[in-house]
Structures are given as structure tokens and as C-alpha cells.
Amino acid sequence: METKSLSLSKSDFKLLKEHLEKSNMSAYNKEKLQAELKAATIYSEDELPADVVCLKSEARIANVKTGKEFTFKLVMPEEANIKLQKVSVFAPIGIALFGYRTGDSINWEMPDGIQEFKILEVNRL
């Protein structure tokens, strides 16, 4: 599987970096995120490509193994509400998808093991 570099706005990069320092995510995910942040392409807020998963974007993804689709909006933790499909940027799936683009596939360790997801569509809200 090819590893693409993340595309992040300056503010999203800062957000993720600060979270990484105080996070209790698994060692696998922490190492993966650290490597991704090192290789990330940083954009100014208005230059970030429109199909990048970022704060306040809506992503439609599919679990590659099951084919099951999910749509959710990435929001700050205080706005998160699973009933309204609003997922915290710091939830495992939020961090996993952050900075990736339409068509990308990612592997991320979820509570039930490493899963592969494909990003089907991204909309900036």
C-alpha cells in the first residue's frame, strides 16, 4: 500500500501536533501519526485542496473489508454528537482520516483491530 503524505492547513497541523503530545492513543497509531505529521504538506487555510478531510469537512468513507459506508462531519470535541454524525477530530476515525483526500485508502487501528477505509467523498462545510 502506497503511503501518501497528509495535506493539512497550518491550524489543523498545529491541532494534531498538540493532540499527539497529550494523547493516549495506541502506540501503532501514535507512531503512524508522528510519521505522517513529519511528511505532511502544510497549506495556508485558503490554499488547502477542497477534497482534503479537515476540521469542518464531511467525509463519506467505506470499510474496505465489509463495504459498509459511513458519513460524518469532523468537529471539535465539544461539538461531537454521534446522533448528528458529528465526530470529534480526536476520535480514532477522525485522526485516521485527517489530511487524506478523496480516493485515498488508510489503515488505522480501531478498538477491534486494524481496519482499512477508503475515502469516497469529501465536502467542505
Tell which wins on pLDDT, 8 or 22.
Answer: 8
Q: Note the pTM of the prediction, 2 decimals.
A: 0.85
Query: What would the pLDDT profile of 60-93 be if each residue is shown by its tens digit?
Result: 999 999 999 999 999 999 999 989 999 998 888 8
Provide the pLDDT for residue 42.
96
What are residue 113's DSSP bridge partners?
A: 110
- Going by their DSSP bridges, the two strands 57-63 and 69-75 should be labelled as antiparallel
Distance CA 63, CA 51 (A): 19
Provide the pLDDT for residue 93.
85
CA angle 17, 95, 35 (to 5 degrees): 55
Considering the domain 7-124 in this protein, what is its CATH number?
3.10.50.30
Provide the pLDDT for residue 112.
82
Q: Is residue 1 very low, low, confident or very high in pLDDT (cuts 50, 70, 90)?
A: very low
The domain locations on the chain are 7-124
